[in-house]
């Protein structure tokens, strides 16, 4: 009587091959995730990543991130006193915005609270201290987006609205539109009860003198003046904030005075949803600062969110790919702050410095200026 033969070794060979394949892929992914690419703040100890134990459907701790602009910002060109002033202003804004979150306020409220303080500081190119146009005016832009609802609001070219970010919020909350510009935006803001000011409210002597230097440079043959990539004072003083509230909702906002010596009603990326500002609970919130034309053409803020979604990348990796690779390849300069629903933070920049910071614990704001 014949005995049944044992299963062939073919089956065992297949199982062994599958095991080796899975093991190889696991090791490759492990090494990839552990690789350290600290350039421009990527994969550094500067920002926290998601804490172990968070459920996939959950969200991270209440978090607030801000920036005060990127550009040619070098320690050797900064006095210790001025450096401390910048840090204190950022800390004050972070604590104010975080207090809103701590008291149960929305991410939208935290963003507007934070940016109002930065708009009120002459150190930053937004609100008081905004740069001058070629005609000697201060034209202000701002935008905001709610990641929970997908609603957004923006204003551009306003000159008499005390807080452009509040005007942008009013467009989002109290109109069927997304963007309003110039005189029409000012009329709308006044009808909404927002505080209006004289144009001189935004003027500072420091910014006015910067305009004079740029005009002189143009007269001497530097046709692009401040737009020159090698200009020693090339900075993009936009301010921005991204917040995550207790309900896991993300909001992002950006406010700016634009670019020194801008002409012909030029508008940059700051009030453009998808370029300078973007928020979606499913991916992240982003606020950008840099040479706006490049950010508009590359739809930078949205591209980071889309990269996360379409390529299943982490926030950190997506932000790095867009700012440190794709934007650089197009010769675009600047940086972003970004925050996802887990409380992960990304703050990459391809310039020498960027005013930036975050807070995830009461009274413990973290602020940075240079490449750490």
Catalytic residues: 238
Token code pair at residue 359: 């807070």
The percent helix, strand, coil of the chain (3-state, each to 5) is: 40, 20, 40
**Helix H segments across 120-181?**
164-174
Residue 194's nearest CA partner among 161, 171, 222 is: 161
Task: Give buried/exposed letters for 138-169 (b at 16+ CB in 10 A, else e).
Answer: bbbbbbbbbbbeebbbbbbbbbbbbbbbbbbb
Place of tokens 């034209």: 139
Say what the alpha-carbon torsion angle 267, 71, 166, 278 is, to the nearest 10 degrees: 80
Phi first, then psi: what are they for 262, rounded to 5°? Answer: -65, 150
CA dist 77 and 80 (Å) reads 10
């Amino acid at each position: 009587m014949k005995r049944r033969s044992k299963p062939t070794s073919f089956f065992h060979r297949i199982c062994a091959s599958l095991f080796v394949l899975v093991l190889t892929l696991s090791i490759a992914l492990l090494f990839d995730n552990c690789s350290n690419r600290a350039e421009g703040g990527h994969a550094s100890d500067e920002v926290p990543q998601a804490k172990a134990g968070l459920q996939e459907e959950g969200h991270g701790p209440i978090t607030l991130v801000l920036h005060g602009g990127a550009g040619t910002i070098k320690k050797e060109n900064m006095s210790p006193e001025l450096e401390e002033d910048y840090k204190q202003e950022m800390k004050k804004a972070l604590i104010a915005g975080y207090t809103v979150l701590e008291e149960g306020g929305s991410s939208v409220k935290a963003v507007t609270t934070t940016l109002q303080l930065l708009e009120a500081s002459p150190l930053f190119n937004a609100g008081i201290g905004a740069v001058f146009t070629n005609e000697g005016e201060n034209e202000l832009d701002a935008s905001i987006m709610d990641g929970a609802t997908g609603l957004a609001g923006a204003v551009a070219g306003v000159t008499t609205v005390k807080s452009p970010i509040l005007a942008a919020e009013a467009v989002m909350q109290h109109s069927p539109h997304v963007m309003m510009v110039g005189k029409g935006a000012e009329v709308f803001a006044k009808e909404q009860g927002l505080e209006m000011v004289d144009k001189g409210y935004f003027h500072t002597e420091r910014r006015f003198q910067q305009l004079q230097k740029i005009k002189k440079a143009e007269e001497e043959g530097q046709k692009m003046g401040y737009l020159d990539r090698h200009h020693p004072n090339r900075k993009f003083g936009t301010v921005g904030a991204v917040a995550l509230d207790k309900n896991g909702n993300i909001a992002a906002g950006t406010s700016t005075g634009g670019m020194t010596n801008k002409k012909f009603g030029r508008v940059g990326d700051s009030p453009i949803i998808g370029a300078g500002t973007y928020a979606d609970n499913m991916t992240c919130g982003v606020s950008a600062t840099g040479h706006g034309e490049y950010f508009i053409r590359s739809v930078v803020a949205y591209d980071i969110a889309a990269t996360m979604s379409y390529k299943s990348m982490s926030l950190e990796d997506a932000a790095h790919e867009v700012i440190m690779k794709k934007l650089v390849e197009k010769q675009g300069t600047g940086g972003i702050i970004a925050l996802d629903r887990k409380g992960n933070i990304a703050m990459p920049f391809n310039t020498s410095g960027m005013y930036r910071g975050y807070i995830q614990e009461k009274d413990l704001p973290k602020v940075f200026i240079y490449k750490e």
